[in-house]
Homo-oligomer: A and B are copies of this chain.
């Protein structure tokens, strides 16, 4: 059993939503400052390396080289460097993974991991172009295989093969909105009903507006240190047990089964094995519900339920707070919001709060083991992380 080497000692999250009041760097600072308030006896000047996750600041806010830009705004001069990682919607997960690897290799002992995306400033047409070019522009996106279309194909196939119903998709949205109501940082702090869901406008059959995560501004931050020193900076550090990533390509044709995402199964299997746990031991999980069907498939591919039983799993309340495994207690991408680069790191912020027992009204009682799943592109790129309280 591999014991993990790095630990989370500080977390921060900006308010998610349409943030006309804050620029990209200001959003990042909001999350970073909160993380330094959360940790103890650690200052921005102590940070050795900074990894920024951001998907497309060049198009969305017309600014590149954002890692040094954010460092400058924070007054951080990292002697072990700053850089950005891009892995579309899984950028945040990859940034955390690289921070963990830097610490495990001995390269650095204090790494600041910042995720940020400001998506509401650019004109809507520019935002649509930006999102569509995550897919293969020359061979797929240009023909209409954008994200909603791709995930709609997965939903249709899951319905055909396993009898998953529109209501199952709707129940994911209803659950995640209910959780978001309890999260002060969420974009949509309101419950929705199944009827509201059913009446929402169609996007790509069978997906409706309320199946889709929103365009959103936001930032997230995690301070990761060597686990050996973690108690200096926090009374309740959260240990990174494992982070894995698997990639198979970019276009939908590389996904040879629309309803079983093999790279996710592979990444999850390795993450469980490295952490020395089984799926049934996971108490709380933040998974990539960019569209509701994704959460249903992820229940299955993460091993929370059998293949094809994802719809029933949510219907039975097994993924609700108090169920078998509480999924997306933060509200998920659906209702907390999905500022692309911030998402993977925001997932770890939520898991950290849950494992510390600091998640307020959405607290899962006795949460010992948490899992994150962050996805990039059309289910082609998956990052799975497993976290636990330091004992």
Q: Which residues of A contact B (CB under 8 A)?
A: 23, 50, 55-56, 58-59, 62-65, 67-69, 71-72, 77-88, 91, 94, 97-98, 101-102, 104-107, 129-130, 133-138, 244-251, 254, 263, 266, 376-377, 380-381, 383
Contact = CB atoms under 8 A, between A and B. Distances in A.
A376 B250 contact: no
Given A59-B59, A101-B101, A94 B81 contact: yes
A55 to B, nearest CB: 7
Contact of A59 (B58, B77, B94, B104): B58
Contacts of A87: 65, 67, 82-84
16 contacts: A59-B59, A62-B129, A62-B137, A63-B136, A65-B134, A65-B377, A68-B377, A72-B254, A77-B247, A81-B246, A82-B247, A83-B381, A101-B107, A102-B105, A104-B106, A105-B105
A interface secondary structure, majority: mixed
Contacts of A98: 98, 101
B80 A245 contact: yes
A79 B153 CA distance: 25
Nearest to A377: B65
Given A81-B94, A85-B83, A64 B245 contact: no
Contacts of A101: 98, 101-102, 105, 107
A133 B63 contact: yes
A371 to B, nearest CB: 17
Contact of A247 (B71, B91, B135, B381): B71
A137 B23 CA distance: 12
A286 to B, nearest CB: 19
A63 to B, nearest CB: 5
Contact of A67 (B84, B104, B137, B247): B247
Nearest to A68: B250
A23 B137 CA distance: 12
Contact of A77 (B82, B88, B106, B248): B248
Given A68-B248, A72-B248, 11 more contacts: A65-B134, A71-B247, A78-B246, A79-B266, A81-B381, A83-B86, A83-B91, A83-B247, A85-B85, A85-B86, A98-B98
A68 to B, nearest CB: 4
Nearest to A84: B86
A271 B135 CA distance: 39
A58 B64 CA distance: 11
A68 B245 contact: no
Contacts of A136: 63, 69, 72
